[in-house]
Amino acid sequence: MSALLEMREISKVFPGVRALDRVNLDVKSGEIHAICGENGAGKSTLSKFLMSKLPKEFVTVVPMDGYHLSNKVLKELKRADRKGAPDTFDVAGFASLVKRIRSEQTQNIYYPIFDRAIEESIAAQGVVTSATKVVIIEGNYLLHDAGGWEAVKDLLDESWMVDVDDDKRIARLISRYIAYGKEPEAAKAWAKGTDEANAQLIERGRSRADFVVQID
């Protein structure tokens, strides 16, 4: 099957993003590609770049964060203080979505989107249409090896781990949280506390990635 996108020996793909290794990229119809990384690493930046190189009507980006458990459920489970950890998502539901994307390519598939303004997911806000040729999945734990996440890796055709300087990543997170209404000290505490603990778990998936891409 001919590739929709072929890129050879990528060393610098566009300002702000460069590959750590000279890599070849082939994106074929029907494939699922994953972009994994910590919060603030630049997953969306890389997704936008890939989308800019593919026919817009043929590619859909599916964020993993729509599968956050609700704030109500997190409080009941006493996990609200570490929202974003691997066990604060509906892992089985997310894996089922990826399986459907893999097997049901002739019909529209709806999925939830996380709304940062209200810190909750909204059902059926996103759709992978029957016209979609390539799906790019963004998420933190796509390469995680425990808690049910290990089932996701086998459903992917290729995975990219986004890498960024830790100080830059944390600074981005603090700015993001302040922009969404957190007080500066609370934003700093969350970025350096809960988020950093999760970042260490996400980093463990680096060895399972097909490629590592650095965001400058």
| Alpha carbon 12 to chain centroid, angstroms | 21
pLDDT of residue 8: 53
Range of the domain at 38: 3-215
Instruction: Please provide the DSSP assignment of 64-133 as one string.
Output: GGGGBPPHHHHHHTT-GGGTTSGGGB-HHHHHHHHHHHHH-TTS-EEEEEEETTTTEEEEEEEEE-TT--
Decide: 136 and 50 in contact? Cβ < 8 Å.
Answer: yes
Rounded to whole angstroms, how far apart are CA atoms 31 and 46? Answer: 17
* Residue matched to tokens 């086998």: 154
Could you tell me if 23 and 211 are in contact, meaning their C-beta atoms sit under 8 angstroms apart? yes
Confidence of residue 25 (pLDDT cuts 50, 70, 90): low
Residue 100 neighbours by CB distance under 10 Å: 15
Lowest mean pLDDT among 38-52, 86-100, 114-128: 38-52
Output the pLDDT for position 108. Answer: 95
Question: What is the number of domains present in the chain?
Answer: 1
Q: What is the CATH number of the domain that holds 177?
A: 3.40.50.300
pLDDT(197) > 50: yes
Amino acid (one-letter) located at 183: E
Q: Is the pLDDT of residue 11 over 70?
A: no
- The model carries a pTM of 0.85
Q: Tell me the average pLDDT across 134-152.
A: 95
- Of 37, 32, 39, 5, the C-alpha closest to 157 is 32
Q: Are strands 120-128 and 109-115 parallel, antiparallel or unpaired?
A: antiparallel
Instruction: With cut-offs at 50, 70 and 90, classify the pLDDT of residue 164.
Output: confident
Q: Which two tokens stand for residue 113?
A: 């989107």
Provide the pLDDT for residue 66.
97
